[in-house]
Chain A
Amino acid sequence: MSQIYTWCAVLLIVLTSTAGDVLLSRAMKQVGHVGQLWRRRGWLAVMGRTLRNMNFLLGIAAMATAFYALLFGLSWGDMSLVVPASASLTFVASAAAAKIFLHERVDRRRWLAAVLVAVGVVLLAR
């Protein structure tokens, strides 16, 4: 029974951290090239524009949810399962989400990279 809880936590972590990454990526594309904005308007403008961005705030909320889901997952299941499982699945889920929601061109090279990194993370965490 606790295994179902653990996998539910993993699923929640993957969904929320993927959503967080997509939202943050979208937010920063709206903010614009940080280096150039910094040179032209100063760091206060960069901070202000970022902190007032709705996608940024939603992204932070999603990341916070992912963090608490991780805490709950760790209290239900083993760290050696929860951490690598959620981290590696997030890489693959993010590649799919970036293609669907951000319209990034995820070609064969990037899919291969996502899978390689995901498998590598599992191997590292063992």
Chain B
Amino acid sequence: MTFRKYLVLAGVTLFSAVGDTLLSRGMKETGGISWQHLTSIFLVVLHPPIALGILFLFAFFACYLTALSWADLTYVLPATSLSYVLLALVARFFLHENVSLSRWLGVLLISAGVGFVTQGPALTHKPRTAGSHPSAEPAVTEAQQ
């Protein structure tokens, strides 16, 4: 894993957190969409926070696809869940919302899960030579690229 690849994974986390926040803020400002006024779904994308949110989610998707081009699905997916952790931190320290104990526990579990995965190799589905230690693998896959 190079520094550039960690940047892509950071982009996955950051862009989805910002995009989701903008979308939810935009949807609250416009009010609920009723099934009677389905055209409002199309007009709503012109609302600035929602348009910006969609732009960020496109950036997220580009980073997500880039990460999938050199890493396992089971490596990238836990990284996407880090955006929930980021949102909880933003809610607590920037928006000064109350974050309950069970939410902090959730943050802890997700962080632990991501930590477990990132310790291992990013790409595993190439056949492994017998007896090699898992931690020796990233160097092998990096060299093969």
Q: Chain A: residues with CB nearer than 8 A to chain B?
A: 21-22, 24-25, 28-29, 31-36, 50, 91, 94-95, 98-99, 102-107, 109-110, 112-117, 119-126
Known: A29-B69, A120-B113, A124-B84. A102 touches B102 (CB 8 A): no
- Contact sample, A vs B, 13 pairs, CB 8 Å cutoff: A24-B68, A28-B65, A29-B69, A34-B70, A36-B145, A91-B81, A95-B74, A116-B110, A117-B77, A120-B106, A120-B108, A123-B102, A126-B102
Chain B residues with a Cβ under 8 A of chain A: 4, 64-66, 68-70, 72-74, 76-78, 81, 84, 88, 100, 102-103, 105-110, 112-114, 116-117, 119-120, 124-125, 128, 134, 145
Whether A104 lies near B84 (C-beta < 8 A) is no
Separation in Å of the B118 CB from the closest CB of chain A?
9
Contact A28 B68 (CB under 8 A): yes
Interface residues of chain B: helix, strand, loop or mixed (majority): helix
Residue with the greatest number of chain A CB neighbours at <10 A, chosen from B73, B107, B113, B120: B73
Q: Is the CB of B81 within 8 A of A117?
A: yes
- Residues of A close to B119: CB separation below 8 A: 109
A34, B81: Cβ atoms closer than 8 Å? no
